[in-house]
Structure 1
Amino acid sequence: MDTTGQPSAADRAYDHVRHGILSCRYADNELLAEGSIAAETGVSRTPVREALLRLEAEGMIRLLPKRGALVLPVTAQEWRDVVSTRLLVEAHCTRSVIESGRGPAVARALEVPLADLRAAAQALDVPAYVTADRTFHATIVAAEGNLILIRLYGSLRDRQLRMGAANLAGPDGELDAVRMRTTVADHEAIAAAIAHEDGALAEHLTREHLRHADRALRGVRA
């Protein structure tokens, strides 16, 4: 960012490409050309190159000399690893906030991401949906207060967003609106269980939500 508070040229290029990957506008294994990105964003190639270096460091693309940037797919192993980590962290944190008596307060905090989820589902806005989805679960993790788990969960952010977008796609790669509405209901049920301080149910629903996501994605990739 510059001193005026406006995004720099590199920031604009970075946001443009990152949004394109997270929204599946750029497909897995698609080759992105610096010149095309520069034209799309109205910036020169130098900030585009800087943006692509940032995205490569985050594991979203691989730079190919004199060819461009390859969009890296989420591998099956990466998906399994992330789901396993999320299961451990989210199940623990969900039960912990309830056992500590913070269930009603956390449920109130979840009202904002829930409203964002509903609005995104209504608009069929995948980037907004996966961001709200991630915020919903991150709110629960943050409420537990374990700084190590918070940092660990934060490190999964972009992987979660990419996988969340893939999870909402049907076998043809297009948005599955039914799947989107179903996941809204999953989140509503989890929030209700937290509000009623039912730790066993909230943990069960969290585990089932992630297992459903795992099965849905494996079905897409089958």
Structure 2
Amino acid sequence: MSKLHSAAEQVYREVKERILSAALPGGELISEGEIAAEMGTSRTPVREAFLRLETEGWMRLYPKRGALVVPVADGEAEHVVAARLLLEADAVRVVTRGPGRAELVRALRANLEAQHEAADSGDVAVFSGLDADFHGLIVRAAGNPLLVDFYVGLRERQRRMTARSLVRDPLQLNSIIDDHTRLVDLVDAGDADGFATADDVHMRRVHGLPRTTGEDAR
């Protein structure tokens, strides 16, 4: 790997991480020179990284003005939550009919412990990643590789949405953990219908979406 390509990869990963963790919020305009100075590199690898981020839909480039961090689109949160709910609720129905429920519960409780640590330190970037991993564990437990691949495609959008919500309201850290604890208990009890209702309420609360289930799942 050439030095130029290596530098571009480093810039790409760093800037993308800032976008996904909401350190660079949607609507913010940044410049190649600004990032180059921060990372101690020339503008060329920054330009290459920005072009890659634009291709992926995270940025929109404006010549001589800079790069705009593309905001979460209208309706995107609703679509992501609807897709996640379908996958997660179905996965729990599969798991509760098979032998893998206890293993999933152990994995989810271990993830919860890490969430507590991240919440105690106030690390939104780490917490949002653990949140995405928590829900990903549920989908993976059903053992359908096609659905897992589809869910992986949602992970970055999910993580960015969660980080944005946490930046807006840091007090949600503890309420998310409470919701996750409730979801694990429902999986442990084999209550797939209860899980689907609680998961819908949880995701809609976190992302500020109107409810469809009517009642709080607590």
Give the TM-score of the pair, scaled to structure 1: 0.86
Which among 112, 136, 142 is matched to residue 138 of structure 1? 136
Alignment correspondent of 1:214: 207
Which residue in the other structure is 1:39 paired with?
37
Aligned to 1:173: none
The 8 Å contact of residues 127 and 165 in structure 1, kept in 2 or not, is answered as yes
Q: Is the 8 A contact 2:96 2:187 kept in 1?
A: yes
Alignment of 1:122-161 (within 5 A): 122-161=120-159
CA contact (8 A) 1:62 1:72 kept: yes
Contact 1:167 1:216 in 2 (8 A): no
| Partner Cα distance (1:199, 1:27) in 2 | 36
1:33–1:217 Cα change, 3 Å = farther
Tell me the residue number matched to 1:179. Answer: 172
Q: Which residue of 1 aligns with 2:68?
A: 70
Is 1:168 aligned to residue 166 of structure 2? yes
Whether the 8 Å CA contact 2:21–2:128 is kept in 1: the answer is no
Give the Å deviation of 1:216.
5.9
24, 27, 30: which one pairs with 2:25? 27
Using the TM superposition, give the Cα deviation of residue 153 of structure 1 relative to its aligned residue in structure 2, in angstroms. Answer: 0.8
Q: Residue 217 of structure 1: CA displacement?
A: 9.3
Whole-angstrom distance in 2 between the partners of 1:60 and 1:112: 32
2:102 is aligned to 104
Name the counterpart of 1:13: 11
**Over aligned residue pairs, what C-alpha RMSD do you find?**
2.1
Partner Cα distance (1:127, 1:43) in 2: 24
Distance in structure 2 (CA, Å) of the matches to 1:11 and 1:206: 36
Supply the distance in 2 between the matched residues of 1:214 and 1:35 (Cα, whole angstroms). 34
Q: What is the TM-score normalised by the length of structure 2?
A: 0.88
Shift in alpha-carbon separation, 1:12–1:112, aligned structure 2, 3 A: farther
Number of equivalent positions: 209
CA shift at 1:177, angstroms?
Answer: 3.1
Aligned twin of 1:203:
196
SS at match of 1:76: coil
Name the SS of the counterpart of 1:39 in structure 2: helix
User: Displacement, 1:206?
Assistant: 1.5
AA aligned opposite 1:155: G
Q: Is 2:58–2:70's contact at 8 Å kept on the other side of the alignment?
A: yes
Q: Which runs of 4+ in 1 moved over 3 A?
A: none
Query: What residue number does 1:189 align with?
Result: 182
Aligned partners of 1:16 and 1:41 also within 8 Å: no
Cα deviations by residue, 1:76-109 (Å, 9 ceiling, x for unpaired) = 2111111111111111112221122321110111
The amino acid that maps onto 1:21 is I
Equivalent residue letter for 2:82: S
Extract unaligned runs of 5+ from structure 2: 212-218
Structure 1 match to 2:214: none
1:130 deviation in Å? Answer: 0.6
Unaligned runs of 5+ in 1: 171-175
Deviates more, 1:72-81 or 1:191-200: 191-200
Q: Indicate the percent of aligned positions where both proteins have the same amino acid.
A: 41
Question: Deviation string for 1:41-98 (max 9, x for gaps)?
Answer: 1122121112112211221111112222110000221111111111111111122211
